[in-house]
Amino acid sequence: MPQLFLAVLTALSATVLLHACGGGNGDPTNSATVSAYVTDDLGDYDSVEFTINTVQLRHTGGRTCEIIHEPLAIDAAELGHDQIVERVDTTMCEAGPYNRLHVELGEDVTLRRTINGQPTTDQCKFVSYYDDNSDRPNRLSCANGVCSVDITGAINLVAQSHEHVALDADLKEFTVDFATTPCEVTLKLSPLHADDKLSVGYRTSLSGYVSDLDETYDHFVLTVDGGTYTVQYAGVTDQSGIDTLLGRAAADRLKTKVRCQTIDNGTTPPTCTAQSVATQTLKTITVKAKGNVSALDSSLQTFTLGYGGTTLLVNYTKATELGKLEGVLADDATAEVTLYGFDLDYFLAREVEVTAGSGGN
């Protein structure tokens, strides 16, 4: 089996990048800024989906710092296919030694494979894990749909310095027992250096909100947790109507994700150069919107999404092609869409997840 990486545990691979500098939490000279990222390596699965609920740095003496604060849904296989390191969160932590990562993740994991040309979906459960000190799997502690695990390893945050720490979940020892119902998943967890991924060409993904859009010179400001970036997107050549999509993201304050081919930290603010690459599965820039479905036309694969007193027209043909239509679409359902472009009056969706209502779960 191949190996998956996920920054800060994502039960398939974790990469926690720690950027230490002064500021916050009492004494500014005795704190570190911790940025958490997720990524993975290529896998045999078309999709490996699960949720990280929280990640904390901990020390036996009582020092703790939460570095992922909110539930984060991950498709580990997609990140690996496009070699993405996804920045998740930025937090001020007390400088000093920590000796473990405490991770809580959703018990459910969805595996999608292609078998004999046919797509197959398996709804599995995380049950156990390996660490560097065990030859046999350790049982995960799971209750009420949440599993917790403590990963031992020295993590030292030095004030006013730059630290990189990673946690790897190795899919070479990622196993699935399909003989049980539901199927049971075991993974391998161990710490490593995040630089190992960045140094071999993995791109960084940033999520935030668009402002100061300049369609003439193809740039905008992206405000993320912990700061801002200037995004240059002239190199995004495979997304029709990208200016219209970005304009809507700015006007409606929709969460926008940008995959940076390079980041120049020598500018103020840092500059992310967004660029299409030949074989990428994921789009360089995507925008999320969540609202109520109406005027559904299943034959044309279109609907109207209403949110915040406004509406937008959605074409979800690409989501269907990619197998990224989750749940049953219906009028009055609530759905979250991931948009990548605009064409002929419709915003183009590559993912649609029905979350509530007539077609919800």
State pLDDT tens for residues 218-233: 999 999 987 899 999 9
Q: pLDDT tens-digit profile of 285-298? A: 999 999 999 999 99
Task: Kindly tell me the sign of the dihedral angle through the C-alpha atoms of 114, 85, 336, 355.
Answer: positive
Same domain, 34 and 79: yes
Q: pLDDT tens-digit profile of 295-314? A: 999 999 999 999 999 999 99
Give a yes or no: residue 14 inside a domain. yes
Same domain, 53 and 160: yes
Same domain, 157 and 11: yes
Report how far Cα 100 is from the mean position of its chain's Cα atoms. 22
Same domain, 181 and 231: no
Prediction pTM value? 0.78
Final residue before a domain boundary, out of 235, 253, 285: 285
Same domain, 130 and 192: yes
Tell me the three-class secondary structure of the chain, residue by residue. CCCEECCCCCCCCEEEEEECCCCCCCCHHHEEEEEEEEECCCCCCCEEEEEEEEEEEECCCCCEEEEECCCEEEEHHHHHHCCEEEEEEEEEEECEEEEEEEEEEECEEEEEEEECCEEEEEEEEEEEEECCCCCCCEECEEECCEEEEEEEEEEEECCCCCEECEEEEEEEEEEEECCCCCEEEEEEEEEECCHHHHCCCCEEEEEEEEEEEECCCCEEEEEECCEEEEEEEEECCCCCCHHHHHHHHHHHCCCEEEEEEEEECCCCCCEEEEECCCCCCCCCEEEEEEEEEEEEECCCCEEEEEECCEEEEEECHHHHHCCCEECCCCCCCEEEEEEEEEECCEEEEEEEEEEECCCCC
Q: Check residue 49 and give its pLDDT.
A: 86
Same domain, 310 and 243: no
Same domain, 152 and 264: no
Final residue before a domain boundary, out of 198, 216, 241: 198
Tell me the three-class secondary structure of 284-310, residue by residue. CEEEEEEEEEEEEECCCCEEEEEECCE
- The two tokens of residue 152 are 């031992």
Same domain, 65 and 80: yes
Give a yes or no: residue 240 inside a domain. yes
Helix or strand holding residue 315 (H, E) = strand 310-315
DSSP 14: B
Pick from 41-50, 68-77, 138-147: least confident: 41-50
> Residues 5-34: what's their mean pLDDT?
43
Give a yes or no: residue 361 inside a domain. no
Same domain, 280 and 292: no
pLDDT band at 14, cuts 50/70/90? very low
> Residues 44-51: what's their mean pLDDT?
80
Has residue 273 got a pLDDT over 80? yes
Q: Centre a 10 Å sphere on the Cβ of residue 118 and count the other Cβ atoms it contains.
A: 7
Final residue before a domain boundary, out of 138, 171, 198: 198
Give a yes or no: residue 119 inside a domain. yes
Q: How many domains does the chain have?
A: 3
β-pairing, 183-192 vs 118-130, is parallel
- Beta bridge partners of residue 147, listed in sequence order: 105, 142
Query: Is the separation of the CB atoms in 157 and 18 below 8 Å?
Result: yes
Query: Is the separation of the CB atoms in 202 and 195 below 8 Å?
Result: no
Q: Check residue 42 and give its pLDDT.
A: 45
CA 259/CA 274 separation, integer angstroms: 6
Give a yes or no: residue 142 inside a domain. yes
pLDDT band at 100, cuts 50/70/90? confident
Residue 330's CATH number: 2.40.50.320
Same domain, 178 and 100: yes
pLDDT band at 208, cuts 50/70/90? very high
Q: pLDDT tens-digit profile of 48-95? A: 888 889 888 899 888 998 888 888 888 877 776 677 777 766 777 888
- Beta bridge partners of residue 96, listed in sequence order: 157
Same domain, 259 and 294: no
Same domain, 30 and 100: yes
Has residue 191 got a pLDDT over 90? no
Give a yes or no: residue 277 inside a domain. yes
Percent of the chain at pLDDT exceeding 90: 41
Q: Check residue 307 and give its pLDDT.
A: 98
Range of the domain at 328: 287-356
